[in-house]
Structure 1
Amino acid sequence: MSGELLLAVAVLGTLFFLLASGLWIGITLLVVGFVALFFFTPAPAGSLLASTVWDSSWSWALTALPLFIWMGEILFRSRLSEDMFRGLAPWLGWLPGRLLHVNILGCGVMAAVSGSSSVTCATIGRMSMPELRKRGYHEGMAIGTLAGSGTLGLLIPPSIMMIVYGITAQVSIGRLFIAGFLPGFMMIGLFMAYVMVWALLNPTKVPADDLRMSFGQKLWNARRLIPVILLILVVLGSIYGGVATPTEAAVMGVVGALILAGATRTLSLETFRESLLGAVRTSCLIGLILVGAAFVTTAMAFTGLPAAMANWVNGLGLSPAGLILILTLLYIVLGCFLDGVSMIVLTAPVVLPMVAAQHIDPLWFGIYIVLVVEMAQITPPVGFNLYVLQNLTGRDIWTVTKASMPFFGLLCLGIVLITIWPDIVLVLPRQMVGR
């Protein structure tokens, strides 16, 4: 075990030193893999690096990633959030909490077409925050609902994190998308239930309903939701119905987003260029991380460290629930320092063998890890949604963090629920296989 311990120290030392130096995470992973191979195995590090980079960069499943990112970038620059606010708000005045639920449902709808947590949070927030402030809603709860619900962009398909996990763990991306539906609706329900309880306990902090309309007027305003609902049906319905692969659905999503932006007169040459360049930048960043992660996975396989770690964990006699508890605590700590993609690809080579040894379904684990990454989006100091909301509201990071903490707790509750009842995740994919 001394050899494995020395290897672990060398790998972790190299990793943390390079990350602290400010080197890109993708390059850091490539260097860590090279160090592990060159110093601890007789394997040819150079040729393995070349073959791994090539093998991990031509995957057909990987083509869905930049397309879904581009779709989100297009919609971010459209009038989608304004239309959703006007379409949803008249129907929610009777609920305790009233327009605070627009943040939750709006983020849920946006999550189903963007695939990105930060895009979801920013798109809904830039429309709803001024409206909620103008009507006198409690600012802390408005920020909290945005912070928590913005994370739904990672859970409700199409999700960029699901694509990253599916490629890393070699799990069907289509089945991951389907598995995310019920947990996504569950989290929307938990967020809305919390807001209703809070509103009933704090009635003076919720202003009176000022959007009273007749049923016909509500229906007329709801027409604004039709384009985005059609886009969701085209993208996700084609995957669930077996008509299209995730990549083909992503192409239809991009075309639909361009049509939607054009119909709302927000598509110009400049916005088209900005959306395309934004998608290229994000895709290249994630692609480099995935390549580095693939090389680290190969290097770890040659060193035997993942198998040794899995055997060590098995020797502890942990139950599957015990392992999940330890991993949750580990990911909460990592989420304070790393972004979601880095968390997944850095830990996959070591964690996935442990999960397999405990006979935990890799599909279920994919949804679990997305939920944990959602938690990382609202934990300082690198929770990205916190900085999005800081820019939107002008408040300091600790004020935003404090407002987000109840929703962090609800995400923890979500993990407990899918652990106790794993069918929340697995029932829809089983039906998909049964077709």
Structure 2
Amino acid sequence: MISDPLILSVAVLAVMFFFLLSGLWIGFSLMAAAIAGMLLCDLNLPPTLSIWTKIGNILVNSMWNSVNSWSLTALPLFILMGELLYRTAISDKLFNGLVPWLNRIPGKLLHINVFACSLFAAVSGSSAATTATVGKITLNELSKRGYDEKLALGSLAGAGTLGFLIPPSLIMIIYGILSDTSIGQLFIGGVFPGLLLAGTYSLYIMFRALTDPKAVPAVQDRFTWADRLKSIQDLVPVFALIAVVLGGIYLGLTTPTEAAAIGVLGALILGLLFRSLTFEVFKDALFNAVRTSTMITFIIVGAAFLSQVVGFLGITTAISRYIASLDLSPYLLIFVLGLFYLILGMLLDGISMVVMTLPIVLPIVIAAGFSPLWFGIFLVFMVELSQITPPVGFSIFVLQSMSDKDVGFILRATFPFFLIMILVVVIVTLFPEIALYLPRKMVG
């Protein structure tokens, strides 16, 4: 039996990674790590209470508490909305509507990746869905028109991660539930950082276009103001859905769950208006939404069980005391956590990163004086970075399937945007008001 909480935490982590690397489902791996921790620890239980009874009690309690949340219902609804938009004509409308407006900016149509991803992120909530939806239209068009392939892939990979930062965000919903932070406040807090990241991507594309003539074709399509005004009709449905979904949350008229339900209704209406919503499309969207929601909920249940066991065994307190004993400055602590999440992002998907580490990391961050709201935005950035880091970067897999390029080529293409994201993380860390200003204004 192990009595030292720090040694016990190492043992629990070793068990967890063993099961993860063995291919076991993430939810089962988290539960197995929790059970291993209970079995390895010297609990000094009374003779009348068996260890398996105690494990069962904690498991049942944590399962009920983790899923008995009205806020959690927003998760499957936003997933369903994203699935519906992904399978209807919304991406075609976005591309056609943006082309006349972006053709004169240095970098021309490469900005469509950034703008389209930003707009779709505001009605999707999923990074993978954002990358796939925008990529299936822009990559072929940009290739046919002679744009630099690396810059096209890199900008799509970077901008695709905005699906987690620009609200509504599935990661923000999960973080809000697990940390007891207002999901509406998290949504509002992600607006300025998301716009800052998107703007920085566009600035880099402009810089590349001005310094490397081969990045952008010399031939320029001509569009009149009449063409631009006509293209607005393709953009209005997207902006209207964004305004309805997010406007209700920001104005305090709807909860995130109610806004998600309205978003699903809006996606259905758009699908019917565009005449692209068939029974098969609806069925596929529904099945995929159920499958994704079930997977995420199972991970949340496993993480809640592990979290409760970690607290019960005193692991969180021991680790917090150990880190406090190192006497790290607040910013050095964030730097260490950033490196930790970068390494973790190479092994795990974003949702697993959040639910596995939050019970241990959040108390330490709050004790260091950081706002849990700000840390939620920081954590979303870390999850975004994990989307474009090997070997578990989902965006890399999506791009590989769409472009038929090898992983090495895609990684070289995405590396500049990876560095840009790290730069923006540093800026938001040094100037936390970028994330906190809007939520404070709304509350005030």
Q: TM-score, normalised by structure 1?
A: 0.98
1:140 is the counterpart of 2:150: yes
Cα distance in 2 for residues equivalent to 1:336 and 1:373: 10
Alignment of 1:123-272 (within 5 A): 123-208=133-218, 210-272=220-282
Superposed CA offset, 1:146-194 (max 9, x none):
0000000000000001011111111110100000000000001100001
Match of 1:305 in 2: 315
Match of 2:392 in 1: 382
Cα distance in 1 for residues equivalent to 2:422 and 2:3: 36
Cα distance in 1 for residues equivalent to 2:23 and 2:215: 44
Cα distance in 1 for residues equivalent to 2:169 and 2:71: 13
Match among 311, 322, 332 for residue 342 of structure 2: 332
Superposition RMSD on alpha carbons, in Å?
Answer: 1.2
Cα distance in 2 for residues equivalent to 1:261 and 1:184: 27
Query: Contact 1:157 / 1:177 at 8 angstroms: preserved in 2?
Result: yes
Match of 1:395 in 2: 405
Alignment of 1:97-112 (within 5 A): 97-112=107-122
Shift of 1:30: 1.3
Query: Contact 1:93 / 1:209 at 8 angstroms: preserved in 2?
Result: no
Shift of 1:209: 5.0
Shift of 1:352: 1.0
Shift of 1:380: 0.7
Query: Contact 1:37 / 1:302 at 8 angstroms: preserved in 2?
Result: no
Match among 376, 398, 418 for residue 366 of structure 1: 376
Match of 1:39 in 2: 40
Partner SS for 1:99: helix
- Which blocks of at least 5 consecutive residues in structure 1 are unaligned? none
After the TM superposition, list the runs of 4 or more consecutive aligned residues in structure 1 that deviate by more than 3 angstroms. none
Cα distance in 2 for residues equivalent to 1:116 and 1:355: 26
Shift of 1:210: 3.2
- Which blocks of at least 5 consecutive residues in structure 2 are unaligned? 46-50
Aligned AA (1:4) = P
Superposed CA offset, 1:62-91 (max 9, x none):
000000000000000011111111101111
Cα distance in 2 for residues equivalent to 1:349 and 1:422: 22
Alignment of 1:417-428 (within 5 A): 417-428=427-438
Cα distance in 2 for residues equivalent to 1:89 and 1:2: 64
Query: Contact 2:151 / 2:215 at 8 angstroms: preserved in 1?
Result: no
Superposed CA offset, 1:102-153 (max 9, x none):
0100000000001000000000000001110111000000000000000000
Greater Cα offset, 345-354 or 34-43: 34-43
Cα distance in 2 for residues equivalent to 1:233 and 1:319: 41
Match among 64, 70, 81 for residue 71 of structure 1: 81
Shift of 1:321: 0.6
Match of 1:11 in 2: 12
Aligned AA (2:27) = G
Alignment of 1:86-101 (within 5 A): 86-101=96-111
Superposed CA offset, 1:178-231 (max 9, x none):
000000000011000011111111023211353311101111012100001000
Match among 263, 288, 293 for residue 283 of structure 1: 293
Aligned AA (1:119) = A
Cα distance in 1 for residues equivalent to 2:92 and 2:407: 26
Shift of 1:264: 0.8
Superposed CA offset, 1:309-333 (max 9, x none):
1111111111111011001101111
Cα distance in 1 for residues equivalent to 2:253 and 2:132: 32
Cα distance in 2 for residues equivalent to 1:251 and 1:2: 49
Query: Contact 2:171 / 2:351 at 8 angstroms: preserved in 1?
Result: yes
Cα distance in 2 for residues equivalent to 1:302 and 1:396: 46
Match among 287, 302, 318 for residue 292 of structure 1: 302
Query: Contact 1:98 / 1:209 at 8 angstroms: preserved in 2?
Result: no
Query: Contact 1:148 / 1:407 at 8 angstroms: preserved in 2?
Result: yes
Aligned AA (1:27) = F
Query: Contact 2:8 / 2:40 at 8 angstroms: preserved in 1?
Result: no
Cα distance in 2 for residues equivalent to 1:166 and 1:209: 48
Shift of 1:2: 6.7
Shift of 1:293: 0.8
Cα distance in 1 for residues equivalent to 2:198 and 2:215: 22
Cα distance in 2 for residues equivalent to 1:328 and 1:209: 43
Aligned AA (1:167) = I
Match of 2:48 in 1: none
Match of 1:357 in 2: 367
1:323 is the counterpart of 2:323: no
